[in-house]
A and B are shown apart, each in its own frame.
Chain A
Amino acid sequence: MNLERLPNNEKLSLCRKYYLGGFAFLPFLWLVNVVWFFKEAFLKPAYTEQLQIKTYVKRSGLGLLLWVAVLTTWITIFQHFRAEWGVVADYLSFTIPLGIP
């Protein structure tokens, strides 16, 4: 789909859909939203729906950052302590690397 050819009100509804969809533990939707609508929100000359698109993109970005922070922290902790946790970590793992503790 080419965003250029979409009327402004449809752009807004699409952006809203992606923003709301992200709350269903789908941070990738927020990532797509930010990347996809960044130009529309901040670089295009002003139009009526742009203000709302801007808010959605900003909030999506914030949510995305939060997710990234949480995931990075968890992954760092998990990888660091995986060997130490033993049983618990093995059951938390989806694939266990071969040949290392």
Chain B
Amino acid sequence: FISDCYFHCISLLTLAPVYYVNSNSVAQKIYVEVNNTVPCVRLLNATHQIGCQSSISGDTGVIHVLESEADLEWPLTKGPNPPYMILLESHLFTRSIMMKIKKESSRIAGVTVVVPNTSPSEFSPHTTCPNENTGVYSDTYGPHLAHCNTTVWNPLGNGLSYEEFDFPVFSLKEDKQAEAIKQCYYDHNRVVNGSAPQYPLCAMQLFSHMFAVTDTATCMRRNDVINFSINPEMVCDPLGDFNVWGSIRPYNRSQLGHRDNESVVMAAARLDSRAFFWDVSTGAEGSISGFVTLLAAAHALRDVTQVAPPTHNILFAFFQGEAFDYIGSSRMVYDMQNGKFVIDLDNVHSLLEIGQVGLRNGSDLFLHSDPVSRMNDTVNDQVREHERYRCSLIHRHHSSATGANFSLVEPGVSQPLPPSSLQRFLRAQNIPGIVLADHRAAFNNKYYESYYDNADNLNLRYPPNMTAEEQLEFLTDTAMALTEVATVVARALYKQAGGDGTQVDNIKADSKTVTQMLFGFLVQANNSWFQALIPPELKDMLSLLLLIPPDFYVGVASSSPAKAKPLTRLVQFLLANLTGTATNLTQDQCQKPDDLPDESVQMYSYLWVQGTVPHNGTEKGPFCVRASVRLSQALSPAFDLGEYASRNYSTWTESRWKFIKARIFLVASRDLEMLTLGVGVAVLFSSLLVTYFISTKADVLFSSAREPASAAY
């Protein structure tokens, strides 16, 4: 008996890998994995959870391809095989359909949205009043302007991005696989004359189980509690990343807080955007148009500020996480208030923010300013100063626009500021400021914070049959238009900073730089120009981490600047290359410049960049760039303060998950499944019975062949 068992065990052990391999190939025969999907994931704030999730073992449903809104009747009420997995074309991805599905979610396993390559006429899953509760307007500050009472900025917003769905929602690229899934539906699941289709049916399974739940306070608490547990598992992470900032004159980074006799002109833009689905935020008009303009303006100011430095310093700030209740700007303001930044709020002379400027369509640009600080006459000199500044700024803008083929216009006295980082500065202090944008009231952007806010939205078109290298150099109309705006911005900043009036005409933004940046950020980040501007060790970053087109979702915060988001680092290196100077330092010196007499890491960043690959001797190899460009943390102060239910600061967190997967397969009817299971169980028990009887009668059955069983047993 012992030897019997021994043989059994051995055979089991040796069979196990074979069995495993077999089961793997069985799985391959049953399931078809669906690639090119993007999930909608769960995000949490102080009070809510939004987004989507599946159950822990995935949600399976019979596929139903939705053809019209009326077609919802079958999966939601009539169909005999719930739950259903609804596959819909993006033009049916509307609020009314999604809300009907949400109401009947017990009959729905999930939703898959097929995303076409062409954009619909309009689509914005964002709210109509972005960042409604964390801007400057509230019951105590311009109550008549709060909650977009006077101007609805994003009237097309349907709010889907802020809904909570208790089923998974995936997007699927329109490609061969999407066609195959539809074919599977037409072959097996098609409802003919209202009669139920026959088994086997085509089904889809979606996995996007989210760990975090309820709100940020709950999930952050569980992150901590779980440390005592046997299986430590984080459930959520705060959203955030790093802001990029640079100045034309360097600041000693060891001296933080207020600086005497210092007055800085700030110029700001936002870096991030979002979309309904997780990592496909393209933000062409929403963020890229603004920050590319500011980068080009910073570039245009490099030479002139070296020849004729203006009286005031100019600081360029690129804020991360602005889509989620102003993470980046609120953090910078918080750092300025608490002496953790190189300047404080009193040092800020004024702020010019570049909003959405890519959809001018030949018409004017608008100078938005805050009517409350403008009209508030009970207060002091500062306000009058503000008013004076505003007039002068507008005047300067007007004059800097001479020569450009557009003019700068004020939208009207009663209108509040559009959603902008400036609002966070105004919340803290009455800082004179202007937001430059292409819209008078509501956004021109018909795809605000959606996947369709892409290169097409900015009319970025290239002649057909161009290689990537040719496209990189091709001067598009969009680039020309943004270059004009950048020139105006650069001139206005120079004048605002007290620069030499005779130099102004020499300030011109470079259209080639703008066109290269647009190509890089909107079409393909992994291109030769971007490669030349980054260090060799980050080369893989471009090819591995950047999607095509690049993604601008802020993502979860990391602690060290080295782990900043690839796009943040890219902007950092761009700003450094565009505003800094190339030095003759060797690679070793570049890494440790403090050993040299004239260099200081306290004043500058030293970045070793690849340069263009030298092949005919004229082009530059790697070199060291010295620039006053730095990263500063863009993590909401709510997480530093531990105020997870904060109403002042962003509290957004992203849930963690184990894996995200989609697959299709054919399901048999429930009866057949049960029959198979029943037969299996019956076979198991009958074999157990047989074994039992053989074992009890063993001495009879095996008496002649074997020794009698040992007494010890």
Contacts and interface: CB of A to CB of B under 8 A. Distances in A.
A93 B140 CA distance: 42
A98 B235 contact: yes
A98 B225 contact: no
A101 B225 contact: no
B53 A99 contact: yes
A100 B213 contact: yes
B204 to A, nearest CB: 21
Among A86, A90, A94, A96: residue with most chain B CB under 10 A = A96
A95 interface: yes
A99 B51 CA distance: 13
Interface string B492-528: 0000000000000000000000000000000000000
B209 A96 contact: no
A37 B214 CA distance: 50
Interface in A80-100: 86-87, 90-91, 93-96, 98-100
B281 to A, nearest CB: 24
Interface residues of A, number: 12
Contacts of A90: 218, 221-222, 225
B211 A91 contact: no
B56 interface: yes
A101 B233 contact: no
B656 to A, nearest CB: 9
Contacts of B405: none
Nearest to A83: B214
Nearest to A91: B225
A99 B225 contact: no
A91 B230 CA distance: 14
Contacts of B235: 98
B682 interface: no
Interface in A42-101: 86-87, 90-91, 93-96, 98-101
Q: How large is the interface on B (under 10, 10 to 19, 20 to 34, 35 or more residues)?
A: 10 to 19
A93 B230 CA distance: 11
A99 B166 CA distance: 11
A101 B231 CA distance: 18
A79 to B, nearest CB: 16
A95 B209 contact: no
Interface in B183-235: 209-214, 218, 221-222, 225-226, 228-231, 233, 235
A3 to B, nearest CB: 19
Among A91, A95, A100: residue with most chain B CB under 10 A = A95
Contacts of A98: 56, 209, 211, 233, 235
Contacts of B226: 95-96
Given A90-B221, A90-B225, A95 B213 contact: no
B53 A93 contact: no
B218 A86 contact: yes
A96 B225 contact: yes
B221 A95 contact: no
Contacts of B218: 86, 90, 101
Contacts of A91: 225
Given A86-B218, A90-B225, A99 B230 contact: no
B211 A99 contact: yes
B657 to A, nearest CB: 9
A87 B221 contact: yes
Nearest to A98: B211
Given A90-B221, A100-B213, A101-B214, A95 B229 contact: yes
B213 A93 contact: no
A101 B214 CA distance: 6
A61 B655 CA distance: 47
A87 B645 CA distance: 14
A42 B213 CA distance: 53
Contact of A94 (B209, B211, B214, B230): B230
Contact of A95 (B53, B210, B212, B230): B230
Contacts of B221: 87, 90
B138 to A, nearest CB: 28
B229 A99 contact: no
A95 B209 CA distance: 18
Contacts of A101: 213-214, 218
Contacts of B231: 95
Interface in A7-59: none
Nearest to A90: B225
A90 B225 CA distance: 7
A94 B229 CA distance: 6
Contacts of B210: 99
A99 B209 CA distance: 7
A96 B229 contact: yes
A93 B224 CA distance: 12
Nearest to B218: A86
B45 to A, nearest CB: 16
Interface in B34-91: 53, 56
A16 B221 CA distance: 47
Contacts of A94: 228-230
Contacts of B222: 90, 96
Nearest to B226: A96
A43 B568 CA distance: 79
A101 B226 CA distance: 15
A96 B654 CA distance: 18
Contacts of A93: 225
Interface string B158-186: 00000000000000000000000000000
Nearest to B212: A99
A40 to B, nearest CB: 25
Contacts of A95: 226, 229-231
A93 B213 CA distance: 16
B511 to A, nearest CB: 51
A95 B222 CA distance: 10
Contacts of A87: 221
A91 B228 CA distance: 10
B86 to A, nearest CB: 22
Contacts of A99: 53, 56, 209-213
A93 B209 CA distance: 21
Contacts of B229: 94-96
A47 to B, nearest CB: 28
A98 to B, nearest CB: 4
Contacts of B212: 99
Contacts of A100: 213
Interface in B630-662: none
Contacts of A86: 218
Given A96-B225, A99-B209, A100-B213, 9 more contacts: A90-B222, A91-B225, A94-B230, A96-B226, A98-B56, A98-B235, A99-B210, A99-B211, A101-B218
27 contacts: A86-B218, A87-B221, A90-B221, A90-B222, A90-B225, A91-B225, A93-B225, A94-B228, A94-B229, A95-B226, A95-B230, A95-B231, A96-B226, A98-B56, A98-B209, A98-B211, A98-B233, A98-B235, A99-B53, A99-B56, A99-B209, A99-B210, A99-B211, A99-B213, A100-B213, A101-B213, A101-B214
Interface of A: 86-87, 90-91, 93-96, 98-101
Which 6 A-B residue pairs are closest in the complex by CB-CB distance?
A: A98-B211, A90-B225, A95-B229, A101-B214, A101-B213, A96-B222
